[in-house]
Amino acid sequence: MLVIVGYLVVVGSVFGGYALMGGHFGVLFQPLEVLIIGGAALGAFIVGNDAKTIRATVKELPRLLRSSKKHDKSLYMELLALLYVLLSKGRKDGMMALESDVDDPQGSAIFALYPMILHDARVLEFLTDYLRLIVSGNTDAFEIGELMEHELETYKHEAEVPAHSLARIGDALPALGIVAAVLGVVHALASADLPPAEMGQLIAHAMVGTFLGILLAYGFVSPLATLVEHKVAESLTGYQCIKVTLMASLNGYAPQLAVEFGRKILYSTTRPSFIELDQHVRDVKSHRSTQD
């Protein structure tokens, strides 16, 4: 939704300012310039990317235009609480006690208490995969940490593919606008026998290409690339929280302290406070003790 609002602000500011200075909108209506710039940009996008990148970018665009899943405090509180419950159970009953929960999280009574995590397939897979390795006991902490880091690097690279492709198109649009403008100037010069007023109109039409190329690049396409990068960085925070918490547990820290390690790497705007987390952990302990 904010993308639409931002686009409205861009359009309103640019064309509103143009109207206030006495500009005529009829001059800006140049569908052939749009065809040249848009068609060339689309062709360059197809040439410069493979099928997987094109599919990923096309799939990402609708998500940017609508409200997406929020990585807010409630989500991270739920994630930290789930990690605490799992690690507490593993510390009390042995890590093998987590095997049934890890193998079938959809049927686990523990995971059922945390629906936001349970419904996020990728986060759930990341968490259960590494818990499965820990439960097996065949991999040391250093190896698991290295494997996590490599997987997160791969995830970041893959998730940022649409951002990179959009950024390259954004960088190309001003030059493609110049191409359209040059073609318009060529057309105007080829009509040098026209009266000065008509020649001036042709030159004005040609310059619209440069205007459109720059506006589309910096007002529409490049901001989308930046937004994708922000969303990727935000989503990585949850994985990093899982990684830090599990690594702290593997290195011998108690569940409550391991979860505190994970809390500290969250963004300040979405990080539960120590008091909030501590109270939540106490509530979890109280709930589990009453069930036992």
Give 231-284 as a DSSP string: HHHHHHHHHHHHHHHHHHHHTT--HHHHHHHHHHTS-TTTPPPHHHHHHHHHHH
pLDDT at 64: 84
pLDDT at 61: 87
pLDDT at 211: 93
pLDDT at 197: 83
Which residue type does 143 have? E
Q: Which residue has the tokens 């702290």?
A: 248
- Dihedral (CA of 119, 123, 126, 130) sign: negative
Provide φ and ψ at 70, rounded to 5°: -90, 135
Which residue type does 206 have? A
Q: What is the pTM of this model?
A: 0.82
pLDDT (tens digit, 0 to 9) for every residue of the chain, 292 residues total? 788 899 999 999 999 999 999 888 888 888 999 999 999 999 999 999 999 999 999 998 888 877 655 678 888 988 998 999 999 898 888 888 898 999 999 998 889 888 889 888 899 999 999 999 888 876 678 889 999 999 999 999 999 999 999 999 999 999 999 999 999 989 888 887 888 888 888 888 889 999 999 999 999 999 999 999 999 998 899 999 999 999 999 998 998 889 999 999 998 888 888 888 778 767 766 765 665 5
pLDDT at 74: 85
- Contact between residue 242 and residue 79 where contact means Cβ atoms under 8 Å apart: yes
